[in-house]
Amino acid sequence: MPTIFTFFGFRFMFYSNDHEPIHVHVLKGDCEAKYNVTPLGLLYNHGFKKQEIALIESIIEENVEVIIDRWTAHFGK
């Protein structure tokens, strides 16, 4: 489970056997969310509050290039 980065306790990662489209999993405590990166879209949310979702989305938007670069480096696509 490669970690892309951690901000404010939120772990942004993907699974080694993940699939396209490029997406990111976000974990903190017992909560998890999954987002498509481009276009940004919430696929599921298990436990995060609205304020946390807003913060997660802003972090993804500000780091889209990093996420795509890490995905491409790992999967070679």
Cβ burial, residue 7 (10 Å; 0-12/13-18/19+): middle
Return averaged pLDDT per consecutive 10 residues of the chain, 77 residues in all: 94 92 97 97 98 98 96 87
For residue 54, what are the domain limits?
3-75
Q: What is the pLDDT of residue 72?
A: 92
Between CA 73 and CA 33 the distance in angstroms is 23
The tally of domains found in the chain comes to 1
